[in-house]
Amino acid sequence: MKKATKELFLRVITLMIGLTIAHLGVTLFLLANLGADPFNVFVQGIFRTLSETISFSLLTHGNTHMCISLLIILVLLIVDKHYIKIGTVLCMFCGGPIIDFFQWLLAPLFANYPTLWFKIPMLAIGCIILAFGMTIVIKSDAGTGPNDLVAVVISDKSKKKFSIVRMIVDFSFVLIGFLLGGSFGIGTIICAFLVGPVAGFFLPKSEAGIKTILTKLL
């Protein structure tokens, strides 16, 4: 196997590990059922607005999510196409099945402990796990999910700290989604405040760790 091919293979494996970790966090967030994450508040708002204005049987939250993701990809292809990589496609298509698996695995735990005293800490832990996994995906340099790319690109182009940009982007998603009819809860607020700073903390550590591992394996 050529070095370049081997490196790409290792980076994709690293991305999939990060994606699995991130979606474990997403699953904890969803099972807590205390509000959608910021991007899905945005998607929900657009979906509800479209549902009220057009009649289309195939219009669902999931289809709206995918269309918005594709739109983000198209915009990025114009702005700076080097951000679109194989991992971007993998994130789009592999996230759902990973979440389905973790929901099947963890749903009984939440059914046995349905109190807020259990759900809120699990939601916070989910946000931290999500942020950590997201940094592995980003620093794998094999691509990342379209919604996460929004903050990555703005941070890179503006030379501003990722943690701050991520918080601004998340709050923008929530505000626009809410104005369009999306709903949010305490989980949305916790996610908006927590994910950005935690990701900012882990980004340099994930980058250094991945670089060290790849150097040893290549």
- Report the alpha-carbon distance of residue 50 to residue 35 in Å, rounded: 21
The pLDDT value recorded for residue 56 is 60
116: Cβ contacts below 8 Å, ≥ 6 apart: none
State residue 113's pLDDT score. 87
Q: Is 159 left (phi over 0), alpha (psi -120 to 50) or beta?
A: left
What pTM value is reported for the model?
A: 0.84
- Local structure of 148: helix, strand or coil: helix
- Give the Cα separation of 64 and 55 in Å (integer): 14
In angstroms, how far is CA 60 from the centroid of its own chain?
A: 20
Residue that is written with structure tokens 């979906």 in the block: 47
Per-residue pLDDT, 123: 92
pLDDT tens for the chain, 218 residues: list them: 677 888 999 999 999 999 999 989 988 988 888 887 888 889 888 988 888 777 666 677 667 887 888 899 889 888 888 888 888 888 878 887 888 889 899 999 999 988 989 999 999 999 999 999 999 999 999 988 888 899 999 999 999 999 899 999 999 999 999 999 887 888 888 888 899 899 999 999 999 999 999 998 88
Backbone angles phi, psi at 56, to 5 degrees: -145, 115
pLDDT at position 172: 94
